[in-house]
Amino acid sequence: MMQRLIFITLTLFLIFSCSKEKKIERNLWKNGGKWDIVKYEEIVTSNWPANEKNEVNENIGIFQFEKDGSGWMIDSDGYDAQKSNFKYTNSDSELILDFYEFESTRTFDIEWEKNSLILTRSGTSTYTPNGSSIEITDHRMYRHTCEKE
């Protein structure tokens, strides 16, 4: 009896975890697939105060997702805009964008609700400037807050 309960619980867990992944995938491309990047944040924390940064920009571009797993992104830094094509895959917790023309892949943690998503990626780097004995550690976090058009 206990094994049967564990089996049923595990089966329900797999069904619901798969369905969230599929819901995200469909929501990305359905109804035109266009997402406005309503806010972009770049936050740097560092043991070297001159490196610290907290930059927030609004309405900097769009993501366009197609049903076939392709798409493009237009983003602007306030002066120039650029279009980057990508192929994408997703799970229930990540979105992977392969910018194949630039041989660059970005993996984002994804927070998703229907027609709203937050894409976050972060990393830490440590380096020693030339001629210095100080080791500097920077932690960078990039976040795109998007809403479906």
CATH number of domain containing 96: 2.40.128.280
Range of the domain at 54: 2-148
Residue 12: pLDDT band (50, 70, 90) is low
pTM over 0.75: yes
Lowest mean pLDDT among 8-12, 47-51, 102-106: 8-12
Report, as an integer, the average pLDDT of 37-43.
97
| Cα 24–Cα 116–Cα 121 angle in degrees, nearest 5 | 80
Tell me how many domains the chain contains.
Answer: 1
- pLDDT value at residue 13: 65
- pLDDT value at residue 112: 95
Report, as an integer, the average pLDDT of 50-76.
96
Q: Where are the alpha helices (DSSP H) in the chain?
A: 2-29
At 149, list the tokens.
């058009």
Backbone angles phi, psi at 24, to 5 degrees: -60, -50
Residue 19's contacts (CB-CB under 8 Å, 6 or more residues apart) are none
Is 80 exceeded by the pLDDT of residue 5?
Answer: no
Cα–Cα distance between 95 and 111 in angstroms, integer? 10
C-alpha distances out from residue 135 to 44, 49, 54, 62, 141, Å: 16, 13, 22, 38, 20
- pLDDT value at residue 2: 67
Is 80 exceeded by the pLDDT of residue 129?
Answer: yes
Residue 132: pLDDT band (50, 70, 90) is confident
